[in-house]
């Protein structure tokens, strides 16, 4: 299954390094911005009540073995998109042969699961969801995470959900697709907001 883990250097590795260095200089400013986040458009989070219920109920099953399920999602994503390994500095020096079983990947899954859980616990609260995603967006600016990275997780997440949910159906698929579309859209929106806020901050 893992024979396709043939990683190649990310073309954007130099810009990622530069971005990381610049971030350390401005990190305290970003924290000030995060603490003053405001919701601009609640309509961005447009999940139906039925979709919210589906997401929360199916996540209960996912969370029972949450870290391992998240690792499965990551492993499948890295197999399909091997260049993603070079987005995160903590992964770059890990040999391909030991990457899957590395403590760094497992820790990343734990952190990711925690963020996902926070969003799902507040899935009915549009304002809270937007603020949570904005905080995640600000934390990920140094890694240049984009909407396409979020989009590319969806097929792998759905594969795992289909494997663990005996009642998996199109409603479940649509609900989770909608959630990740919202996350991706809010990520891009937050990055634009941040650029505008930084311009104001430096005036």
Q: What is the pLDDT along the chain (203 residues), one digit of tens a residue?
A: 334 444 333 333 333 333 333 333 434 444 433 344 444 444 456 889 999 999 999 999 999 999 999 999 999 999 999 998 988 888 989 998 899 999 999 999 999 999 999 999 999 988 888 888 778 777 766 667 788 888 999 999 999 999 999 999 999 999 999 999 988 887 787 767 666 655 555 55
What's residue 3's pLDDT?
40
What's residue 59's pLDDT?
98
Q: Which residue has the tokens 């994503």?
A: 77
Domains and CATH numbers, the chain: 44-201 (1.10.490.10)
Q: Which residues lie closer than 8 Å to 138 by C-beta, 6 or more apart? A: 30, 33, 34, 190, 194
Is pTM beyond 0.75? Reply is no
Task: Please say whether the beta carbons of 194 and 188 come within 8 A.
Answer: no
Virtual CA dihedral for 92, 93, 99, 104, nearest 10 degrees?
-80
What's residue 168's pLDDT?
98
């Amino acid at each position: 299954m893992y024979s396709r883990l043939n990683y190649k250097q990310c073309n954007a590795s130099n810009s990622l390094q530069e971005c990381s260095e610049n971030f350390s200089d401005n990190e305290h400013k970003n924290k000030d911005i995060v603490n003053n986040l405001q919701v601009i458009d609640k309509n961005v989070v447009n999940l139906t009540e039925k979709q919210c219920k589906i997401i929360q109920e199916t996540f209960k099953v996912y969370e029972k073995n949450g870290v391992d399920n998240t690792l499965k999602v990551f492993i499948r994503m890295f197999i399909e998109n091997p260049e993603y390994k070079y987005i995160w500095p903590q992964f770059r020096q890990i040999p391909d042969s030991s990457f899957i079983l590395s403590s760094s990947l497992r820790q990343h899954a734990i952190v990711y699961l925690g963020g996902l859980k926070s969003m799902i616990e507040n899935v009915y609260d549009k304002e809270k969801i937007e603020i949570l995603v904005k905080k995640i967006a600000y934390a990920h600016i140094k890694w240049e995470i984009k909407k396409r990275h979020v989009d590319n997780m969806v097929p792998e997440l759905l594969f795992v959900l289909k494997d663990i949910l005996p009642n998996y159906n199109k409603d479940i698929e649509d609900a989770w697709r909608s959630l990740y579309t919202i996350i991706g859209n809010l990520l891009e929106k937050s990055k634009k907001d941040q650029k505008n806020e930084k311009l104001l901050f430096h005036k």
